[in-house]
A and B are shown apart, each in its own frame.
Chain A
Amino acid sequence: MATGVATDSNRLAYTGGVLAPAAQARTARRWGWLLYAEYRLTSMRAYLQTIVIRSIGLPLLYLASMGLGLGALVDSGAGGVDGVSYLVFVAPGLLVSSIVMEATGEFTYPVMSGFKWQKHFFAAAASPVRPGQIAVGEVVAVGLRFLIETVVFWLALLLFGAVTAATSWLVILIAPLAALAFGAPLLAFAATQTDEGAQFAFIQRFVVMPMFLFAGTFFPLGAMPWYLQWIGWISPMWHGTQLARVVCFGMPNPVWLSVLHLVVLLVTAVAGTWFAVRIFTRRLTR
C-alpha cells in the first residue's frame, strides 16, 4: 500500500470530489455540536478503562459498605429511614452523588486543556464547527457518558434489590441531569480560567465534598440543624437525590416540590450551558 511517493491519482488539492464545501458548512451549521460530541466521546477512549472501572466498581463498593455495613447499623437502631431500609434510602443518593461528582473531573482540567494545553477547542474552531457548538458538544458528550454510567449503576442497584419502585428507571435521566446542573455551570467557570492554580482543587474541597456530605446523600436534610440546610437547597446534588428517591422507592414528597427539583435542575443545566456557549464564543474568537 505504501508506495513512498503519492501518485498523481490521489490529488490533495480541491477536486470537488468530496462533499462540496457549501454542503460541509450546512452539515456543520446544523450538526456541529454533534460532530464535536463525537470527537469528545472518541477522546474518552483514552481513559475508557478508568470510566469502566469507576462505573462498575463504585456502585459495588458503595453498596457493600453503606448498604450492608452502615445499613445494618441504622436499620437495627432506627428501623430504617423514611420508612424503608437504609440500603433503599441511600442507594438513589449514592447513584446521583457519584455521577454528579464525575462532573468535576470532566469539566475542569479537560476544559483548561482544550484552551491551553492540548488546545483542541482551537483545533475544532478552525473547522466549520462554531465555538458555541463546541460548548454544547462538551455538555452532550459528557452527558452521554453520565447516562451510560447511570444505566450500569442502576442495573447494579436492581440486582441488589436496592431500588423497589417501577418508576426507578427514570433515575437514568435524573442523575445525568443533576450532574449537568452542576457540570454545565462548572464548564462555564472553567472556560473563564486562563491559568492553572488552586481553583479546581478548591472546588473539589469546598464545593463538591460539602455537597457530598451535607446535601442529603446519607441522611435526610431535615436531620441537620436548620442553619446547614441551605447547603441542600443550593446543591443540584440534593435536588437530584430527592427526585431520585421519589422515583426509586416512592419517597413521600409534595408534587410541587418534585416539580421544583426538576425545574431547578433544568434551569441550572440550561443556564450553565448558555453561559458556556457565550464564554467559548468569546474566547475562541478573540
Chain B
Amino acid sequence: MSVIQARSLVKSYGDLNAVDGIDFDVAAGESFGLLGPNGAGKSTTMRMIGGTSLRTSGTLSVLGMDPETHGPEVRANLGVIPQQDNLDTELRVRDNLITYGRYFGLPRSYLQRRADDLLEFAQLTDKAGEKVDNLSGGMKRRLTIARGLINEPRILLLDEPTTGLDPQARHILWDRLFRLKEEGVTLVVTTHFMDEAEQLCDRLVVMDRGRIVAEGSPAQLIRQYCTREVLEVRFGSERNAAVVQQLGDVAERLEVLPDRILLYTDDGEAALERVTSLGLQPLTSLVRRSSLEDVFLRLTGRSLID
C-alpha cells in the first residue's frame, strides 16, 4: 500500500516550473529517495508533501489525505527534517525536543520521557543541557532528526540529511537512519550524493529540472543505464579531445569530461589493455564500478555536483 502518491505534480514560481509534472508512489516502510542536483525541485517536492508549499496543479495524497486541506492531520504523521536546521539556538538541547513536541499537543510528562529516549537514539544524552550553538554540525543534524521523531511519525521526510557534514558524521547519521528503517519508519530522503542514495534508498527517482528522468532501485538503475564498470583515463586537458576519436571502439560508450574520459564497459581492465595496445599512454587510469553518478551523467549529460 502506498503512503504517498503524487500524480502530475506541478509547482511553479512565476515562469519557473520548480516541479514540472512528476508522478511517484512511496510504499509503507520503504526508504524512498529523490536524487538530483541543486535546483532539481527536491525540497519543493518535500514541502508539498507536508502541505507547507501549495501545489500549482496535480494531485497529492499522503496517508490517503490531501496535505493542503488536511495539513494538521498529515503533519501529525510526519517528521520533517528540513534542508537547513531550524533548531532554537536560544534553548537547550533537550528543551528543543520538548518545546517542539508541544506543537503536537503532546503532554509534557510524555515529552520528558520521549526526549530522553530520543537523545539516547541521537547519541546526545550527555549534551542534553548544552546550548544548541555549542553542538557540532553533525550533532545539530542528529538533534533535528530526533526532533522530527518526537511525535512517533509514520513517515520521516529528510531533506539532504548529510549535506555539509564530514565523512565520519555522515556515517554516524546513516547508521541512525538504518535503525529507523529497521523499525519500519517510512523514509523519504532527498540528496545530491549518489553514495547516500545508494546507502539509504531501497528505491529512488532521479530528478532533473523539476522532472523525473529515471526510477528504480540503485542496482536496477545502474544495470539499466550503465555497464558494470567504468574506466577513467586522463591524457591532460589538451589531449583528451584529440584521443577521443581513437577510443571509439574500446568501450560500449564514452563520456568526455573536461578533465577526463569515462569509458563504460563490463571489464575495465580489458578496456585499459585495449587503450594501451592502441599506443595511447594515459597520465592516470582508474577502474571502478558504475555508480548512480554515472546514471545521472548518462541521463542528463551533466554531473550531480557542479
Q: Which residues of A pack against B, CB within 8 Å?
A: 1-6, 10-19, 21-25, 27-29, 31-32, 35-36, 38-39, 42-43, 45-46, 118-120, 122-130, 284-286
* Cβ-defined contact, B76 with A118, below 8 A: no
Give the chain B neighbours of A13 by CB distance below 8 A.
152, 154, 180, 183-185
Q: How far is the CA of A214 from the CA of B72 in the complex (A)?
A: 47
* Cβ-defined contact, B99 with A42, below 8 A: yes
Of A18, A25, A45, A123, which contacts B86 at CB under 8 A? A123
Interface of B, helix, strand, loop or mixed by DSSP: loop
B50 at the A interface (CB under 8 A): yes
Q: Would A21 and B73 be within 8 Å (CB), given that A6-B120, A43-B88 are in contact?
A: yes
| Shortest distance from the beta carbon of A105 to any chain B beta carbon, whole Å | 15
Q: Which residue of the partner chain A has the closest CB to B54? A: A285
| Shortest distance from the beta carbon of B157 to any chain A beta carbon, whole Å | 9
* Cβ-defined contact, B90 with A39, below 8 A: no
Q: Would A6 and B105 be within 8 Å (CB), given that A28-B76, A125-B52, A284-B52 are in contact?
A: no
* Cβ-defined contact, A14 with B75, below 8 A: no
Interface centre among B53, B71, B89 (most CB of A within 10 A): B71
* Cβ-defined contact, A35 with B105, below 8 A: yes
- Stretch of B77-85, B229-237, B250-258 on the interface side: B77-85
| Shortest distance from the beta carbon of B151 to any chain A beta carbon, whole Å | 7
Please report the total number of B residues contacting A with Cβ < 8 Å.
Answer: 51
Q: Which residue of the partner chain A has the closest CB to B148? A: A126
Give the chain B neighbours of A21 by CB distance below 8 A.
73, 76-77, 151, 154
Q: Would A18 and B73 be within 8 Å (CB), given that A13-B184, A28-B104, A120-B86 are in contact?
A: no
Q: How far is the CA of A106 from the CA of B250 in the complex (A)?
A: 69
| Shortest distance from the beta carbon of B52 to any chain A beta carbon, whole Å | 5
Per CB-CB distance, the 7 closest pairs between chain A and chain B, nearest first, are A27-B105, A127-B103, A128-B72, A119-B86, A21-B76, A46-B90, A10-B117
Interface centre among A126, A129, A286 (most CB of B within 10 A): A126
| Shortest distance from the beta carbon of A99 to any chain B beta carbon, whole Å | 23
B126 at the A interface (CB under 8 A): yes
Q: How far is the CA of A125 from the CA of B75 in the complex (A)?
A: 9
* Cβ-defined contact, A3 with B120, below 8 A: yes
Of A12, A24, A125, which contacts B180 at CB under 8 A? A12
Can you list 22 A-B contacts (CB < 8 A)? A5-B120, A6-B121, A10-B121, A12-B185, A13-B154, A14-B154, A19-B105, A19-B106, A19-B107, A21-B76, A24-B76, A24-B105, A31-B105, A36-B103, A46-B90, A123-B82, A123-B87, A126-B52, A127-B151, A128-B72, A128-B75, A129-B103
* Cβ-defined contact, A1 with B102, below 8 A: no
* Cβ-defined contact, A2 with B126, below 8 A: yes
Of B82, B88, B110, which contacts A118 at CB under 8 A? B88
Q: Which residue of the partner chain B has the closest CB to A39? A: B99
Give the chain B neighbours of A118 by CB distance below 8 A.
86, 88-89
Q: Which residues of B pack against A, CB within 8 Å?
A: 50-54, 70-73, 75-78, 80, 82, 84, 86-91, 95, 99-100, 102-107, 110, 114, 116-118, 120-121, 123, 125-126, 149, 151-154, 179-180, 183-185
Q: Which residue of the partner chain A has the closest CB to B124? A: A2
| Shortest distance from the beta carbon of A229 to any chain B beta carbon, whole Å | 43
* Cβ-defined contact, A122 with B86, below 8 A: yes
Give the chain B neighbours of A126 by CB distance below 8 A.
50, 52, 75, 78, 80, 82
Q: Would A28 and B53 be within 8 Å (CB), given that A2-B125, A14-B153, A126-B82 are in contact?
A: no
* Cβ-defined contact, A29 with B120, below 8 A: no
Q: Which residue of the partner chain B has the closest CB to A284? A: B52
Q: How far is the CA of A157 from the CA of B51 in the complex (A)?
A: 50
Give the chain A neighbours of B86 by CB distance below 8 A.
118-120, 122-123
Interface centre among A15, A24, A31, A119 (most CB of B within 10 A): A24
Give the chain A neighbours of B77 by CB distance below 8 A.
14, 21
Give the chain A neighbours of B95 by CB distance below 8 A.
42
Give the chain A neighbours of B103 by CB distance below 8 A.
28, 32, 35-36, 39, 124, 127-129
Q: Which residue of the partner chain A has the closest CB to B157? A: A126
Q: Which residue of the partner chain B has the closest CB to A122? A: B86
Q: How far is the CA of A25 from the CA of B151 in the complex (A)?
A: 11
* Cβ-defined contact, B84 with A2, below 8 A: no
Give the chain B neighbours of A36 by CB distance below 8 A.
103
* Cβ-defined contact, A127 with B184, below 8 A: no
